Amino acid sequence: MATETFLDQWVTSLYTCLRCRECVTSNAEYKTVCPIQERYGFFSYSAGGMIAIARSLYDGHLNWGSEVASVLYTCTMCRACASQCGNIYYLTNEYFNVPYLVEKMREELVNRGKVPPPVRDYLKSVELYGNPYQKPRSKRAKWAEALGIPSYSGQEFLFYVGDVGSFDEIGMKIARAVSFLLNRNGVSMGILGNEEISDGNEVKALGESGLFEIIAEQNIQTFKKLGVKKIVTLSPHGYNSFKNEYGKKGGDFEVIHYTHLLMKLIEEKKVVLPELKTCVTYHDPCYLGRHNQEYEVPRKILKSIPGLELIEMGFSKEEAFCCGGGGGNFFTSMLESGVNSPSRIRVRQAKDTGAEVLAVACPLCAKMLYDAVKDEELDGKLKVKDIAEIILNKEV
């Protein structure tokens, strides 16, 4: 190593990783939990592989270039590796956190101007438009037309919708379902509308820490100006960003995912639940599950619906297989498509349960899995529905 780099603080981990493959396969039995390892079949595309790349960079055997970037940007930041490796006592030092290491290496690539074009374009769009869809702010609340949802003006909750809920067709359907359900059951809430911008979760995951600082600061200023105290998010990605990152920057807000609020309404018997004679399997979103340890609330909601049978997939909770949309891949498509893409693998896992409905609690997961159902030619055999859509049991 010629010069001191940020990798110095990871030296212990870089040289003690045994390549034991626990980051790739389940501790309980041999089944692959890493989506990029399963996608490509090479150990380089795994947490152990990422550490090997970092070590080679540290030792000077690799250069910070397009070849390294093409591997680092496939990681979905799903944390399956962290959930598997965490039990190995001699690797649980403060720096042995591969998703965080990947994020810092991506940060280095951003600083060196070595990011792949799809990543560059995504970051530029967010910087210029406040969203990756390159849509004007005036279109931000189009999803809410005719629903009568007020702008935020001191209500109990700010309903933060996010980019996918605001601009993606599937995401907008889910945003309408969630807001209709909450509104109908007396929740005091408002939306930012034209004032809303990205939450920055994917920007940070892609390594653009400077842009994330700007986004976080702007959002915190907006929330404080409006007197926001409580935020309910549509997406687990926004939930993760507001809950775990904004507090470090002076954003002291109570943040919940919409399923938390929905569960509270059900417990208070404010929600009329339909009777549904159907079999459902639930997909754990990585940013609700492994990133924030919330596995039970969505399941409790589904189990509370009369007649509904919940069937678990072989990969669930801590071992849930990622849909492939995390870490910015939803927008950059660095993992590419194909029969072995994570979303199609996940849909096949859902199909194997015999369930009629694949339940989700994340608009990014919904879109990824909805497209995968089509690619797997399972239209009419397996439906992808958000939990709010299941409760409403109708189109909104």
Q: What is the pLDDT of residue 2?
A: 43
What pTM value is reported for the model? Answer: 0.94
Length of the chain: 396
Residue 327 and residue 239 share a domain: no
Q: Which of 89, 115, 141 is the last residue of a domain?
A: 115
Q: What is the pLDDT of residue 112?
A: 95
Instruction: Write the CATH number for 140.
Output: 3.40.50
Residue 95 and residue 76 share a domain: yes
Q: What is the pLDDT of residue 394?
A: 64
Residue 247 and residue 301 share a domain: no
For 269, phi then psi, to 5°, come to: 60, 35
Q: Please give the residue range of the domain that contains residue 74.
A: 6-115
Other CB atoms closer than 10 Å to residue 260's CB: what's the count? 17
Tokens, residue 167: 């601009």
Q: What is the pLDDT of residue 10?
A: 78
CA 260 to chain centre: 17
Give the whole-angstrom CA distance, residue 19 versus residue 52.
9
Q: What is the pLDDT of residue 324?
A: 96
Give the whole-angstrom CA distance, residue 263 versus residue 278.
20
Q: What is the pLDDT of residue 237?
A: 98
In a domain, 34, yes or no: yes
Q: DSSP label at 234?
A: S
Residue 151 and residue 137 share a domain: yes
Residue 109 and residue 125 share a domain: no
Q: What is the pLDDT of residue 30?
A: 62
Residue 292 and residue 258 share a domain: no
In a domain, 1, yes or no: no
Give the whole-angstrom CA distance, residue 329 versus residue 325.
5
Residue 335 and residue 323 share a domain: yes
Below-50 pLDDT ranges, the chain: 1-3, 87-92, 95, 395-396
Start-to-end C-alpha separation, the chain: 59
Residue 130 and residue 40 share a domain: no
CA 264 to chain centre: 23
Residue 237 and residue 137 share a domain: yes
